[in-house]
Structure 1
């Protein structure tokens, strides 16, 4: 079996590749990279792995020939470009490349919780647009709608290590949110890719991927304190202050999208209300404290 991951450089793509190369069924894996300098040494040394140069932004560079299955990830944007238009462009390119290859039986798309909505979710609108385009890209299509990445909390390490505090935009502090570890995302996507050819209940087949349980800001604080062995202060960013908070980090257009995305899963947001739930929920095994331990190198 031959599987292509495009693009292969995101941490989720790396996690999927790592799982695939460790699988006893021995699939061959192709990773598509804009920059071949980003190919991890552990992959380069594996005879079942091939790294090729290409970009989802340039159709002429995408060669999916010989692939039985494809894992696609929409790369994030941090500039002034329209995220929805960009998601449409790169998804159309992947879809065209799949059709041109003629061998792809299954597409697995790494999506996000809330991708079913066409408004009110900020940056997640890119996943919605990708799902619209990719829903019939292959005979078998799987959308994995992930919860909040546990690894996103790694951005807190600098203030924790320098000043003993971290900001949280998850309020109220006892509000629980589905979170998932990157390694569990990779393992789940790999499992779906390896199941190519097995009948799906429907196509596109959609499920949400959460961690063992939902977590609150207090849970995050406890994990930081347990791993660091120190008292860690938590500084909440209230919903009304999200715009200013993200504007201090991102360009205005990006900040607005992230603020809207963040607000979407707080009280009053569309994902908090969730009038159109996906239905099936699968759960990873990795607890938040394990991910925090990896962040600290403990």
Structure 2
């Protein structure tokens, strides 16, 4: 089975490729804008091919011979319209799938909250992509992931240098579903390898959570275990999110992150109306403490 991952450069793409290559039935093509970014472990693998291409340029996408395709909307950290960008990427991928004529299944790496067309900030890019890709192949799967455990990585440098970290997950005892990147990769790989297996609907949609929900206090305990010392936690209240993200990102990007963050806090759309479009949920196995230990040691 030939499987294409586009793009393969994000951590979730790499995790999926790694899981796919563990199955001897899979040959994998990974798309990269910069072939210098291809991991050495993939370059050396006989069943992996790195392809130069850009999801923003339809002419560079050729899925001929592919049985299944994993699609990821690349994150934007510059002043662009994230919804328009996601729509463009999805349309380019959809056109490449139809031109290839061989693709039986498309799996899209989406987000919890992608069913909403308002109030979710950065997640609106996933909503836009889903709208385009829902009928892109005979079999379509949307994997709506919970909050990435690896998002806590932004705190590692501050912890090592100053012994504290920020959290935007408040109140501190509020539990939020989270998922590890390695579990995302394993799940997406399993969905791709199941190409040809009947699905209950097109698209087939499910949410992907970790083994349980986690709080900021859980993150503190995990980091303390990794660091071997007590750490100060500095919560960012909801009203302070604008200043917090504004210190890191350009205004348009910061606004998208503020709205996304606020969407799962009290008063936000995902907090007040957390209904999935489809009731199915799947669960990863990796605990937050495992991820934080790895992040701290990196």
TM-score by length of 2: 0.98
Aligned partners of 1:55 and 1:62 also within 8 Å:
yes
Aligned partners of 1:113 and 1:208 also within 8 Å:
yes
Name stretches of at least 5 consecutive residues in structure 1 with no aligned partner.
none
Aligned partners of 1:110 and 1:144 also within 8 Å:
yes
Q: Deviations over 1:93-121 (max 9, x none)?
A: 00000000000000000000000000000
- What's the secondary structure of 1:141's corresponding residue? strand
* TM alignment of 1:94-109, pairs within 5 A: 94-109=93-108
- What's the secondary structure of 2:234's corresponding residue? strand
Q: Using the TM superposition, give the Cα deviation of residue 276 of structure 1 relative to its aligned residue in structure 2, in angstroms.
A: 3.4
2:27 corresponds in structure 1 to 28
Aligned partners of 1:68 and 1:105 also within 8 Å:
yes
- What's the RMSD between the two structures over aligned residues? 0.8
- What's the secondary structure of 2:258's corresponding residue? helix
Name stretches of at least 5 consecutive residues in structure 2 with no aligned partner.
none
How many residues of Structure 1 are paired with residues of Structure 2 in the alignment? 297
* TM alignment of 1:207-246, pairs within 5 A: 207-246=206-245
* TM alignment of 1:3-18, pairs within 5 A: 3-18=3-18
Q: Using the TM superposition, give the Cα deviation of residue 70 of structure 1 relative to its aligned residue in structure 2, in angstroms.
A: 0.1
Q: Using the TM superposition, give the Cα deviation of residue 293 of structure 1 relative to its aligned residue in structure 2, in angstroms.
A: 1.2
Aligned partners of 2:147 and 2:179 also within 8 Å:
yes
Match status 1:192 vs 2:191: yes
1:63 corresponds in structure 2 to 62
- What's the secondary structure of 1:234's corresponding residue? strand
Q: Deviations over 1:133-173 (max 9, x none)?
A: 00000000000000010011010011100110000000000
Q: Using the TM superposition, give the Cα deviation of residue 275 of structure 1 relative to its aligned residue in structure 2, in angstroms.
A: 5.2
Aligned partners of 1:106 and 1:139 also within 8 Å:
yes
Q: Distance in 1 between matches of 2:115 and 2:275?
A: 8
Q: Deviations over 1:211-255 (max 9, x none)?
A: 000000000000001111110100000000101100000000000
2:120 corresponds in structure 1 to 121
Greater CA drift, 179-188 or 266-275:
266-275
Q: Deviations over 1:74-95 (max 9, x none)?
A: 0011111100000000100000
Q: Deviations over 1:247-270 (max 9, x none)?
A: 000000000000000000000000
- What's the secondary structure of 1:227's corresponding residue? helix
Aligned partners of 1:116 and 1:276 also within 8 Å:
no
1:175 corresponds in structure 2 to 174
Q: Distance in 2 between matches of 1:260 and 1:37?
A: 34
1:204 corresponds in structure 2 to 203
TM-score by length of 1: 0.98
